[in-house]
Amino acid sequence: MAAAPSFPAAHARVPWYSHGTNQRIVVPQDPFRYSERLQNIRPSGIRKFFELGLSMKNPIDLSIGQAHFDTPDVVKQAAQKAIADGRNRYTVTQGIPDLREKLKARYAARFGDVSGEDVMVTCGVSGGLMLTFLAMLNPGDEVLIPDPYFIMYKHLATMVSATAVTYDTYPDFRPTAQRIRERITPRTRLIIVNSPSNPTGYAMTEADARELAALADSTGIPLISDEIYEDFMYGARHVSPREFTRSCIVLSGASKSLGMPGWRIGWMLSPRELSEKMYGLQQFSFVCAPAPLQWGALAGIDLDFSQHRADYLAKRDFVFEGIRGRYSCVRPGGSFYMFPEVPKGAKLDTFIEACIKRELLVVPGTACSDRASHFRLCFAATDEKLRKAVTILNEIAASTA
């Protein structure tokens, strides 16, 4: 048997021939050298906790952001039927018409006239964000993102050689037009808003949304509204800035609401012409969202979410009321996160270490913020785990007081 070929040594001297002179030139070259773009991308601080959780026997894992309920049976059955029926081929890149039409009708009912817009099915909201960044950002352009932010925004900007510039939303986490306006430069091309928010749980009010819409209209800088947690609202209705301006791309998806983050189904409402350009980008990258799972998502679109909403409201109240005596925290209006401040006198690192020692996993704020003062806690967990978490958090705060 022939010996397996060995990998070329890093920095092997690889000869090549100059085109102009046909001279043999030898250059030191690592065959697997990284692109500059990759050198600026570090693994998500949140994934680290995911892996740590896998190595623990029975952790109280409040680190990873996904609903704790499973995909509804009707959705699973619809996907299984689609597979059995042979719907396993590529779909058209923009997604199956039935799902797109249903989503478009839903947006029309909410926003009024959307005839100039198009709904495209994407590989999760992540896929939609990637297409939007690729379609709208040139190298050197700036995209405004909230601080604290969903970690992906920053790295996606790097991937397209643009710069993510944060607008500070501390201490109340409101993405106000004033806070955003201060960060606009001639290079600003997009403004990202995310309500309700990961990681803070802040849900924008109608007044916030109207101001943001006016900002987009007056500056000509469009909003990218990430509404993936739109169903997880506790009290007030979900408000989208798209209600007040057409200068807004809306992204949402099924990962959170249908408990199927592994299925990779998202969607995007955007101006028709831009959307059609993005078909090309999707065609040459993701190709299409998983075909049978689009049929599954279609079966779940109209499901009643009220029971999950009530459950999560109770969880939010339980954790928020449980820790508020010892932690300063903004009460989340939506999503399933809280972003409390570490107890006075404690350092973020030592606080996180104390949590890990007790097998409680939460995310240090530094994974999703320029500041090192808060931590993210995901309350999409069983009541039993949340009870234990509240006890541990209070004990840690008492020991640092």
Per CB under 6 A, residues contacting ligand PMP are 65, 124-126, 150, 194, 198, 226, 228, 253, 255, 261, 266
Strands 337-338 and 163-168: unpaired
216 vs 214: CA distance, rounded Å: 5
Cis peptide before 171 (omega within 30 of 0): yes
SS3 for 16?
Answer: strand
Query: Which residues, 6+ apart, have CB-to-CB distance to 14 below 8 Å?
Result: 8, 26, 27, 29, 31
Contact 236, 309 (CB under 8 A): no
Q: Shortest Cβ distance from residue 77 to ligand PMP (Å)? A: 22
Cβ closest to ligand PMP, residue 130 vs residue 392: 130
Cβ closest to ligand PMP, residue 256 vs residue 326: 256
H helix intervals, 288-373:
291-300, 306-323, 348-357
247 vs 265: CA distance, rounded Å: 24
Cβ closest to ligand PMP, residue 59 vs residue 148: 148
- List 266's β-bridge partners, or say none: 122, 253
Cβ closest to ligand PMP, residue 96 vs residue 346: 96
Q: Shortest Cβ distance from residue 353 to ligand PMP (Å)? A: 25
Measured at the CA of 134, the angle between CA 131 and CA 136, to 5 degrees, comes to 105
Identify the DSSP state of 370.
Answer: S
Q: Shortest Cβ distance from residue 263 to ligand PMP (Å)? A: 9
Amino acid making up residue 267: W
Cβ closest to ligand PMP, residue 194 vs residue 369: 194
Q: Shortest Cβ distance from residue 228 to ligand PMP (Å)? A: 4
Q: Shortest Cβ distance from residue 3 to ligand PMP (Å)? A: 43
Q: Shortest Cβ distance from residue 266 to ligand PMP (Å)? A: 4
Q: Which of 237, 163, 228, 159 is nearest to 193 (CA)?
A: 228
